[in-house]
Amino acid sequence: MLPVDDLGEPVPLPGPPHRVVSLVPSLTEAVLTDVAEPSTLVGATDYCTHPPDLDVTRVGGSKYPDVDRVLALRPDLVLANSEENRPEDVMRLRADGIPVWVTAAPATVPAALGSLRRLLGTAWDAEPPWLVEAEHLWREVTPPRARAVVPVWRKPWVVLGRDTFAGDVLRRLGVVNAFATHPDRYPRPPLADLQHADLVILPDEPYPFTPTDGPEHFPTLRPVHVSGRHLTWYGPSLVPARPALEAALNAELNDAERSTQPP
């Protein structure tokens, strides 16, 4: 019986793949960290920035990859994601006989790590140390300490809504997403509706929020600047992500607590 991806589609894999194209930045990093040989990856998107020394053929963006360029690389496996990649591109690759493993958009950290465990175990029979460590690190859930809005884009404003991986990351760190019960996963509320929280968490991707581009729109909220990779990628980055995100949140929350104490 053929293995199936997260969406239940069969993926013909006669053995460990030797020519892989990744259309998902976090999967690129996951495959190349203690799993496959560097030469295994022959193509990746323009947004695949890790490992930092990655030197492969670039095939465009995740949403609009150059499918002809992917086909020209003759991959024996393409890695995609149900949220980041278009179904029509996946269908075209499969129609040309290319096996495609599509991961689901995870709603929780355990779901993301479980998806990775199945992909890496099925394709490479691998259980990298970082996967075991990440599962251990993210098991703990910190009691709620603050409520936050989390923009991921502006013009228009887009924020984290229900059932998102990044929302669960923050929940495990004691931060309640102000839009966690919104019917949309990525709602687009007016700016006036984004002012009712304790914090505004500003990642540096996909929109590159900075100390001078973002906080000025939230005058009553305490800004917390974080790495978008730590907040939204799932893979080896989850190991340093927990202490880094905790440090950024604790710095702001501890400062807020001190500022409210009587002299």
pLDDT at res. 255: 72
pLDDT at res. 254: 81
Predicted model pTM: 0.93
pLDDT at res. 115: 98
For 263, counting Cβ atoms within 10 Å of its Cβ (0-12 exposed, 13-18 middle, 19+ buried), the class is exposed
pLDDT (tens digit, 0 to 9) for every residue of the chain, 263 residues total? 889 999 999 999 988 999 999 999 999 999 999 999 999 999 999 999 999 999 999 999 989 999 999 999 999 999 999 999 999 999 999 999 999 999 999 999 999 999 999 999 999 999 999 999 999 999 999 999 999 999 999 999 999 999 999 999 999 999 999 999 999 999 999 999 999 999 999 999 999 999 999 999 999 999 999 999 999 999 999 999 999 999 999 998 887 655 555 55
pLDDT at res. 195: 97
103 contacts 82 by C-beta, under 8 angstroms: yes
CA distances to 85, 123, 132, 153 from 187, rounded to whole Å, are: 19, 35, 33, 11
pLDDT at res. 224: 98
9 closest CA partner among 98, 110, 69: 98
pLDDT at res. 183: 97
pLDDT at res. 260: 54
The domains found in the chain, sorted by start residue, are: 20-136 (3.40.50.1980), 140-260 (3.40.50.1980)
pLDDT at res. 253: 87
- DSSP conformation letters of the chain: ---B-TTS-B---SSS-SSEEESSHHHHHHHTTTTS-GGGEEEE-TT---STT--SEE-B-SSSB-HHHHHHT--SEEEEETTTS-HHHHHHHHHTT--EEEEP--SSHHHHHHHHHHHHHHHH----HHHHHHHHHTT--PPP-EEEE-EEETTTTEE--SS-HHHHHHHHTTEEETTTTSSSSS----GGGG-SSSEEEEESSSS--BTTBSGGG-TTSEEEEE-HHHHH--STTHHHHHHHHHHHHHHHHHHHHHHHS--
95 contacts 67 by C-beta, under 8 angstroms: no
| Angle made by CA atoms 65, 66, 68, in degrees to the nearest 5 | 140
Sign of torsion, CA 244 246 247 251? positive
In terms of DSSP bridges, do strands 57-58 and 41-44 run parallel, antiparallel, or are they unpaired? parallel
In terms of DSSP bridges, do strands 151-153 and 158-159 run parallel, antiparallel, or are they unpaired? antiparallel
Distance CA 190, CA 86 (A): 28
CA distances to 32, 106, 258 from 7, rounded to whole Å, are: 23, 12, 48
Q: Quick one: how far is CA 66 from the chain centroid? A: 22
pLDDT at res. 263: 52
